[in-house]
Amino acid sequence: MLKLDESLLGQRSEPVVREVERGAIRKFAAALGLDDPIHTAVEAARARGYRDLVAPPTFAVTLLPFEAPGLRLPKAGVLHGEQEFEWGAAICAGDRLTVTGWVEDVKTRSGAGGKMHIISVASEAVNQDGERVFRAKAVLIVTEEVEHAVGR
């Protein structure tokens, strides 16, 4: 069942530090079928001006926090409405990223199937040099029907 403490809107989660490993970047790039050597060969990445292997932009989804203050989602039935990213500094192997998450906004709408809650959850990561590497926003939808089914 959806539980939301609206007094905590905008409050960031405790920071989580995530270390970016070469092996994770290589596996992610392989899964996407990327063949640019900046994702697999340190020498190639450094030759192009990077500190180490470069993570593909969508690698950021593996770094997102799993919670936001005041929000508890049902275990099933949450719809992912949209996802957007703002990119900053490149994510490279060896980076220590500090990631936080928070609920930006909640709206409730009524429809033919009952009420639905539209929740905007944001997150941000900064690297060891204090540079923002990404800001993400996801829109999640929890319908009244799902709330009742999960609550049974």
Instruction: Read off the pLDDT of each residue in 107-136 and give the average, rounded to a whole number.
Output: 92
104 found inside a domain:
yes
Predicted confidence (pLDDT) at residue 147 exceeds the cutoff of 60: no
Task: Identify the band that residue 7 occupies on the pLDDT scale cut at 50, 70 and 90.
Answer: confident
Question: Is the pLDDT assigned to residue 111 strictly greater than 90?
Answer: no
Instruction: Provide the pLDDT for residue 145.
Output: 65
Terminal Cα-to-Cα distance of the chain (whole angstroms)? 9
Instruction: Kindly tell me if the per-residue pLDDT of 6 is higher than 90.
Output: no
What does the chain come to in residues? Answer: 152
Give percent above pLDDT 70 in the chain.
94
CATH number at residue 108: 3.10.129.10
Q: Determine the pLDDT at residue 148.
A: 54
Position 125 in a domain: yes
Based on the number of CB atoms within 10 Å of its own CB, is 151 exposed (0-12), middle (13-18) or buried (19 or more)? exposed
Q: What is the pLDDT of residue 152?
A: 47
Asked if residue 146 has pLDDT above 60, the reply is no
Residue 34 lies in a domain: no
Which residues constitute the domain of residue 71? 3-19+65-151
Residue 56: inside a domain: no
Q: What's the total number of domains in the chain? A: 1
Q: Does 55 fall in a domain?
A: no
Query: For the segment 33-87, what is each residue's pLDDT rounded down to a tens digit?
Result: 999 999 999 999 999 999 999 999 999 999 988 788 888 888 888 889 999 999 9
Query: Residue 135: what pLDDT?
Result: 97
pTM, rounded to two decimals = 0.84
Residue 32 in any domain: the answer is no
54 within some domain: no
Residue 96's pLDDT is 98
Residue 53's CB: how many other CB atoms inside 10 A? 26
Q: Within a domain: residue 123?
A: yes
